[in-house]
Structure 1
Amino acid sequence: MHTGNLLAHIPSPLPAELFNDLVSTNHFRIERILSQGQHTPTGEWFDQDEHEWVLMVQGEAILLFLEPEAGAQERVHLGPGDYINIPAHYQHRVEWTHPSETTVWLCIYY
């Protein structure tokens, strides 16, 4: 058995975006991400082989999704308690995270 707290051990100020695997198996992974002003570099997109379920625990972020068939982009704002399920190979990027408040993400990859 392992216990922990998602809001523990958060450095202040955050020196860089931090990624911590909380649970990892052959079929899924649970990760905590800490951000403070970080975003995906311009022109880069995530195109993952896994589905990703994201819960915003603390802070704020704006995600941008690319819908190539429709030739459109969709912005999604996430705040505390908001979640989103991102299908595998659905291109997306982090446009913005709060610059002065630590954003705590809980991500489940499956």
Structure 2
Amino acid sequence: MTATRGNLLHDVPVHAAGEVFTELGAWQASGRVRIERIVSNGQASPPGFWYDSADDEWVLVISGSAAVAIDDGTTHTLGAGDWLRLPPGCRHRVAWTDGAQPTIWLAVHVSP
């Protein structure tokens, strides 16, 4: 068995036309766990679009900033080091991400 390592801040795409998703690993436990790096460069969810996942999701902003809107009317502004847990069925959207620098997210998805 070989250990795997990486750096979340290495090879960060700058000025990409869309968000760039990089799966960092996936493990099978009682459910499936998937970890990915997301890099946003000023993107937001399209108007009227909501993420609505059956997975439990935990996101951490590594650098940059963003706001996540929840369909209950709340908005969470996140900066470097801030994290947010989105339970299954929590409808949410990215309201905005920093346009002056990349926003680097770490997302952990756990499916039943």
- Specify if TM > 0.5: yes
Aligned counterpart, 2:11: 9
Q: Does the Cα contact within 8 Å between 2:40 and 2:104 map onto a contact in 1?
A: yes
Aligned counterpart, 1:75: 75
- Identical amino acids, percent of aligned pairs: 37
Shift of 1:13: 2.7
Gaps of 5+ in 2: none
SS in structure 2 of the partner of residue 28 of structure 1: strand
Q: Does the Cα contact within 8 Å between 1:14 and 1:102 map onto a contact in 2?
A: no
Aligned counterpart, 1:38: 43
Q: RMSD across aligned C-alpha pairs, in angstroms?
A: 1.0
Shift of 1:85: 0.6
2:20 to 18, 21, 27: 18
Whole-angstrom CA distance in 1 between matches of 2:14 and 2:52: 31
Whole-angstrom CA distance in 2 between matches of 1:17 and 1:89: 23
Whole-angstrom CA distance in 1 between matches of 2:12 and 2:70: 28
Q: Give TM-score scaled by structure 2 length.
A: 0.90
Amino acid of the structure 2 residue aligned with 1:43:
G
Shift of 1:61: 0.3
Gaps of 5+ in 1: 68-72
Whole-angstrom CA distance in 2 between matches of 1:60 and 1:83: 11
Equivalenced residues, count: 105
Aligned counterpart, 2:85: 85
SS in structure 2 of the partner of residue 38 of structure 1: coil
1:57 equivalenced with 2:62 (yes/no)? yes
Shift of 1:11: 2.4
Question: After TM superposition, what 4+ stretches of structure 1 lie above 6 angstroms from structure 2?
Answer: none
Q: Does the Cα contact within 8 Å between 1:44 and 1:93 map onto a contact in 2?
A: yes
Q: Give TM-score scaled by structure 1 length.
A: 0.91
